[in-house]
Homo-oligomer: A and B are copies of this chain.
């Protein structure tokens, strides 16, 4: 932390700042310039609410050195983390790109099995589907709950695909963990810290989606919650942020891919289905995500999108999914990887 003093700061004010920082265990480097004095404070940011320093008399500005996260940072762990979704499917590292696909929500037994077959046939290596659905309206379909989890497990049994499904409530941790191979924390719960702490106590992989208006730093801080509880199997997911643009449902922020790769060792997947909200934008953005360095994709695929109970307009039909998978292979190869 760097504290820049006002031009007219008195020696007493400077001393006061220094003493206050020392009290909180910071090491101090004082730099008196012609115009201003600058105080460098070195130590653990978590020991003090730094903003309070801003209020001390004579302080002009407090500058935080970025990167408050630790365990998730590439400085802490220079090697890419590899997360195992099942015995045969892993994500992270340099080569294999993982495609997770399936319907937005689990709608029924027959529909789920059908979707799973479509995913497998097209080359997907993991199955997604929500049994607990966070819906902005209380009057919308809220998911099948445990029944949905059972259908997912059945689909896994038939196809061998590991399953990724969302957890909404701390009270359901055990239930969801019993069925899921990967526990998804959705965008709306990215800063539900109690939920993060609970999945941090598990060993299961966690797929953590970026919040609609979360900075990349906040996403990494939320991942830090999980890692700090002991669970290092975290996959980050970019799924679109909220901007002023209204043509797309969200603005899929592919910049997040190289930024996260630089700052962290955790694998990154991209969800162009939620990210754009329109099925005909999914293909171009999926290819772009791979070209930008993503480790995987989450795609909404539905046997009959126009009958979907949620998010049908962003789901791919089987034949569109199959065609896209072929195109993704080519792009992956062009960047030295494979789907």
Contacts and interface: CB of A to CB of B under 8 A. Distances in A.
Interface string A64-77: 01101100000100
Given A49-B310, A138-B224, 11 more contacts: A2-B2, A4-B65, A27-B34, A52-B305, A52-B306, A170-B170, A216-B247, A258-B281, A258-B284, A262-B280, A330-B334
Contacts of A80: none
A251 B248 contact: no
Interface in A258-289: 258-259, 262, 275-277, 279-281, 283-285, 287-289
Nearest to A70: B139
Q: SS class of chain A's interface: helix, strand, loop or mixed?
A: mixed
Contact of A31 (B38, B61, B197, B248): B38
Interface stretch (A151-159, A176-184, A185-193): A185-193
Contact of A55 (B141, B245, B254, B279): B279
A82 interface: no
A334 B332 CA distance: 9
Given A27-B33, A248-B259, A254 B285 contact: yes
Interface string A165-207: 0001111000000000000000011011110010000000000
Nearest to A215: B245
B331 A55 contact: no
A278 to B, nearest CB: 8
B244 A242 contact: yes
A20 B38 CA distance: 21
